[in-house]
Homo-oligomer: A and B are copies of this chain.
Amino acid sequence: MRTAFYISDGTAITSEVFGHATLSMFPVEFNHQTIPFVETTKKANEIRKLIDTVAETSGEKPLVFFTFVNPELSDIILSSQGVCYDFLSYASEIVKRELKVKPVPKMHRTHSIHESTYDFRIDAVNYALANDDGANIKDYDEADIILVGVSRSGKTPTSLYLALQYGIKAANYPMTEDDLESGRLPKCLDNHKRKLFGLTIDPERLAAIRQERMANSKYASLRQCRIEVREVEMLFKKNKTPYLNSTRYSVEEISAKIIADTGLKRHKY
């Protein structure tokens, strides 16, 4: 199997995201290797040797996606037997030409604590945890968004993703059978209608998820799931609550759709 290396002087997250997006276009399996925090010539030389060893023992040149602030480290990796791609260099040339400003590379630029938005994200994680699953309805004034839906419709992972990635304070409130039977929004949400965003889900998928949690319960029965989903969607429509069906979407996709639909302000780019 061909080896792909993702290498950087920082977390190597950018190298991974870029390399993975490139390789995912090819119908080929890869052995992925991430090597973060390559900050010295000694470490870079070790990695160069590792790349060469893989090339020699496998008979196939590894694909190497890398980025370094220090050009000395780049040169060491470029001298390996891998097919090396310094993927930011070409883009930065284009930007430089257009802006007529020279790049000023600095360490740990994109995924470090030095970003001014870092505290927002940790605050938002704490907020999401404290306001998970209807735990803390008194803090809804502070919410950027309140996700609503039946139990296990994807609210919690979405609220955590919005917090961790974007610093968005997302509370979530589970619609209980009592809420659904009454046919109206619970009182605690009345003053926050404009912050609500609904998640719904196909009853079959919901039953499968609930089954893993509480096998053979009424809660997990397809009949119960159908009733709850129908009622919650009626409630969303009645209250003009925007909503989406999470069944076929990842937490990244759900989050991106919510941000695009609501115009929520993000604290991180």
Contacts and interface: CB of A to CB of B under 8 A. Distances in A.
Interface string A244-269: 00001111110111011000000001
B269 A20 contact: yes
A28 B96 CA distance: 11
A10 interface: yes
A215 B88 CA distance: 45
B112 A253 contact: yes
Contacts of A252: 11, 13, 111-112
A248 to B, nearest CB: 6
Contact of A63 (B18, B37, B95, B260): B95
B91 A249 contact: no
A36 interface: yes
Contacts of A106: 25
Interface string A134-170: 0000000000000000000000110011001000000
A257 B154 CA distance: 29
Contacts of A257: 36-37
A112 B20 CA distance: 13
Contacts of A32: 269
Contacts of A253: 10-11, 108, 111-113
Contacts of A131: none
A236 B39 CA distance: 26
B14 A157 contact: no
A212 to B, nearest CB: 9
A22 B108 contact: no
A120 interface: no
A31 to B, nearest CB: 10
Contacts of A103: 25-26
A34 B250 CA distance: 18
B87 A83 contact: no
A210 interface: no
B104 A26 contact: yes
Given A12-B256, A122-B157, A125-B156, 19 more contacts: A2-B99, A11-B252, A14-B18, A16-B269, A20-B110, A21-B109, A22-B88, A25-B88, A25-B92, A25-B95, A25-B109, A26-B99, A26-B104, A28-B101, A34-B260, A83-B95, A83-B98, A112-B249, A113-B249
